[in-house]
Chain A
Amino acid sequence: MALRQQSPNNAFAPGLGTRNVVLSTIPSDSHTWNLLYLQLLLEEHGCAVTNLGACVPVATLVGESAQVRPDLIVISTVNGHGLHEGLGLARAVRASEELRQVPLVIGGKLDTAGSRTDADFLPLLEAGFDAVLVGETAVPELLALLERLALLERLPEPVARPLTPPAGGLDRRAYADAIR
């Protein structure tokens, strides 16, 4: 059911291997230009992208991701319901044995008020997101995160662990702060 799984056009970090990214949105969001843009951007940076398209039910996201075993899950949403619907989504991803440790980020326009501060997004981080990316810095932050994922892949196994912390909101918040 995955859409447009394509191989990358130009590897971002040659020799590091391809990173698998699942790109998705929340169940109520029908916007797709943001998803197409991010798919192209991620492919240009060496990722193989599984783009799940519009209005993805949480069960579909979890099922598809459990099959792909991605290095990163990116949720992009612009309809203003992300702050609310993101909570159940993150809890469901974290409840999945396969996905418990997969980095999970959300970005876009997350509520109708245009919230920007960390305090506004704390519930999302507590529910299981590793990072919340909004505003003009969202794209540079996402690219910085990819770069960090690539760097940590080069490190020996034990050191690589901190990027994909075990379950626990505090660790994940520290991770989120690190990539902000």
Chain B
Amino acid sequence: MRSVEPYRTLDAVTGSGAARDHGPGATFHAVLDAARRRGALVVQPRMGFSDPARMRAGLSATKAANATTVGTLTLDSFTRVGDFATAERALRERRPLNGYPIVNFPTATTEAMLAGIRDRDFPVQVRHGSSLPGRIFDALIEAGLDATEGGPISYCLPYSRTPIRQSVQAWEEACHKLAALRERGVEPHLESFGGCMLGQLCPPSLLIAITVLEGLFFRRHGIHSISLSYAQQTDAVQDQEAVLALHEIAAELLGDTSWHVVIYAYMGLYPSTERGALSLVADAARLAVRTGSTRLIVKTAAEAQRIPSIAENVTALETAARAGAATERLPAAPVSTGIKEEARALIDAVLGLNEDIGKALVRAFAQGYLDVPYCLHPDNAGRARSVITEQGRLEWSRTGSLPIGHLTPAHRSAQLTSTRLLHALSYVRSRYDTADTADTADPADLRQTA
């Protein structure tokens, strides 16, 4: 059994030195590094509201949840695309945004919103989705925060039209801004979002390769505390192999860096039933614990319909924590199907393109060494495709110019049609929505027993 007690009782582990080193506020790094050493699972919501009072209430409820938690400020989509004028107009007209507009609010507003909530045991991370994150990094650093996420590939390809070259440059500059916190005695933390890539239908080896390459990019640009990500896909056994491979490759390539792995509960089309949604997030927690991952970002039962309430977030956090606490780490790795070799081949081929990792990433996409299936971004080659096999595994159906042709047989699949695409996109949702309900009669039971 794993403890889910809150960090406030963990002074003995973090040591009094941590407080001295990291100033009065928490650092995300210190709390997560302690969790990693202890083998604890930290759970985190995706939560963002434009009203500072509601945002504060959301963070407060996250902190008070019966789980080991860290807080999240998810920013709104106008801020993500750099349209601060429209965010400003919405605030003036009191129209709600779909997240917290950290750039538009005065620093004092954000400081007051966080005061007394964020402390040395409860750090807060900014989540945004911006390919050009400079202003966001400025705002979060000014507000005294030290942790955020994204990456020059993972926040460019799926969510923007920004040329990769421009995103790489912006992320280099942003990394240097964040890294400058080290001169003030604060260890900043940066998470790669590379394990998500469109949320679904991106085969595991490419997710691993992109998040590791972004981790190496961050390290190259002065960040010493990093997390690598992996989003739950279609098959639990395949996911376990992938996350263990991610740990092994990170240990090989990021030896001089403090790192942990963060699991994202499924990022594709989410189950529409409460039972299905909570059962999916519980499985994500089991994946995290079985593979020795330190952190999990949850999704809620309301995800498929609308922006979730604070209470729905807390339910998801507590469901995940309970499922994690009832799970043991895998005693041995599952039988290898070659995910690690594929990921390593992708990473090595990209690193071989140029000594400068930013230039290597730009060239990798131009040559199709990295090619995200179904991604519409102008810089993505669009020659690789994936398929969900009859066994429910996510595999390549076309490898295009990916340097893995010698490792993986492409699975034959029928031509992509709108109906087949919809079926693949809905695969996980359908499976969890229609799962056998014989042993757990209703969602309330699941909440209690997961």
A55 and B95: CB pair below 8 A? no
In the complex, what residues of B have CB within 8 A of residue A60's CB? 161
Which residue of B has the minimal Cβ distance to A45? B418
Q: CB distance A53 to B376 under 8 Å? A: yes
Q: Known contacts A3-B376, A30-B129, A54-B159; is A44 also within 8 Å of B417 by CB? A: yes
> Is B20's CB within 8 Å of the partner chain A?
no
Contact status B198-A30, CB under 8 Å: no
A112 contacts partner chain B, Cβ-Cβ < 8 Å = yes
Complex CA distance for A37 and B419, rounded to whole angstroms: 8
Residues 55-82 of A, flagged 1 when their CB comes within 8 A of B and 0 if not, give: 1100010000000000000000001110
Contact mask A116-133 → B, CB, 8 Å, 1/0?
000000000000000000
CA distance A160 to B98 in the complex (A): 42
Cβ < 8 Å to B, chain A residues 88-118: 112, 114
Contact across chains for B382 and A79 when beta carbons are under 8 A apart = no
Q: For residue A112, which residues in chain B have a CB less than 8 angstroms away from its CB?
A: 96, 98, 306-307
Q: Using Cβ atoms and an 8 Å threshold, which residues of chain B touch A1? A: 378
Residues of A within 8 A of B355 (CB): none
Report whether A28 and B378 are in contact in the complex, using a CB–CB cutoff of 8 Å: no
Determine the chain B residues whose CB is within 8 A of the CB of A37 once the complex forms. Answer: 418, 421-422, 425
Interface residues of A in 128-173 (CB under 8 A from B): none
CB distance from B28 to the nearest CB of A (A): 25
**Is A41 an interface position by the 8 A CB rule?**
yes
Taking the complex as formed, is A27 at the interface, i.e. its CB lies under 8 A from any CB of chain B? yes
**B86, CB-defined interface residue at 8 Å:** yes
Choose among A4, A27, A41, A56 the residue that contacts B83 (Cβ–Cβ < 8 A). A27
Pair B376/A51 contact, Cβ less than 8 Å: yes
**Chain B neighbourhood of A41, CB < 8 A:** 418
Chain B neighbourhood of A48, CB < 8 A? none
Q: Does A16 contact B (CB under 8 A)?
A: no
Given contacts A33-B198, A112-B307, contact A40 B421 (CB under 8 A): yes
Instruction: Specify which chain A residues have a CB less than 8 angstroms from the CB of B159 in the assembled complex.
Output: 30, 54-55
Contacting residues of chain B (30-84) with chain A, CB-CB under 8 angstroms: 77-78, 80-81, 83
Q: Is B450 among interface residues, defined by CB-CB distance under 8 A?
A: no
Complex formed: what's the CA distance from A103 to B425 in Å? 30
Which of A1-27 touch B at CB < 8 Å?
1, 3-4, 9, 27
Tell me if B368 counts as interface (CB < 8 A to partner A).
no
Give chain A's interface residue range (CB within 8 Å of chain B): 20 to 34
A28 touches B81 (CB 8 A): yes
The verdict on B108 contacting chain A, using a C-beta distance below 8 Å, is no
When distances are taken between beta carbons in the complex, the residues of chain A under 8 Å from B425 are 33, 37
B417 touches A35 (CB 8 A): no
Interface residues on B, range: 20 to 34
Q: Does B1 contact A (CB under 8 A)?
A: no
Q: Looking at chain B's contact residues, is the secondary structure mostly helix, strand, loop, or mixed?
A: loop
B305 in contact (CB, < 8 A): yes
Q: Kindly list chain A residues whose C-beta atoms are within 8 Å of the C-beta of B367.
A: none
B357 in contact (CB, < 8 A): no
In the bound complex, how far is the Cα of B90 from the Cα of A28, in angstroms? 13
Query: With A30-B158, A32-B158, A37-B422 given, is the CB distance from A53 to B80 under 8 Å?
Result: no
A contact residues around B376 at 8 Å (CB) = 3-4, 32, 35-36, 51, 53-54
CA distance in complex: A29, B417 (Å): 24
A143 to chain B, nearest CB (A): 11
Given A40-B416, A54-B159, A54-B376, the answer on whether A81 and B422 have CB atoms closer than 8 Å is no
> If the complex has contacts A3-B376, A36-B421, A114-B305, are A28 and B86 also in contact, measured as CB distance less than 8 A?
yes
Q: Does B411 contact A (CB under 8 A)?
A: no
Residues of B within 8 A of A81 (CB): 77-78, 98
Least CB distance, A112 to chain B, in whole angstroms: 6
Minimum CB distance partner of B201 in chain A = A33
B427 in the interface, Cβ–Cβ < 8 Å? no
Assuming A9-B415, A29-B77, A55-B159, what are 19 further A-B pairs, CB within 8 angstroms? Answer: A4-B376, A27-B81, A27-B83, A28-B77, A28-B81, A30-B81, A32-B375, A33-B374, A33-B425, A35-B376, A36-B374, A37-B418, A37-B425, A54-B160, A54-B377, A55-B81, A79-B98, A85-B86, A112-B98
A-B pairs, 3 with minimum CB distance: A30-B159, A40-B418, A53-B376
| 19 A-B residue pairings within 8 Å (CB atoms) | A3-B376, A4-B376, A4-B382, A27-B81, A30-B77, A30-B160, A32-B375, A37-B425, A40-B418, A41-B418, A44-B418, A53-B376, A54-B159, A54-B161, A56-B161, A79-B77, A79-B98, A112-B306, A112-B307
- A positions within 8 Å CB-CB of B: 1, 3-4, 9, 27-30, 32-33, 35-38, 40-41, 44, 51, 53-56, 60, 79-81, 84-85, 112, 114
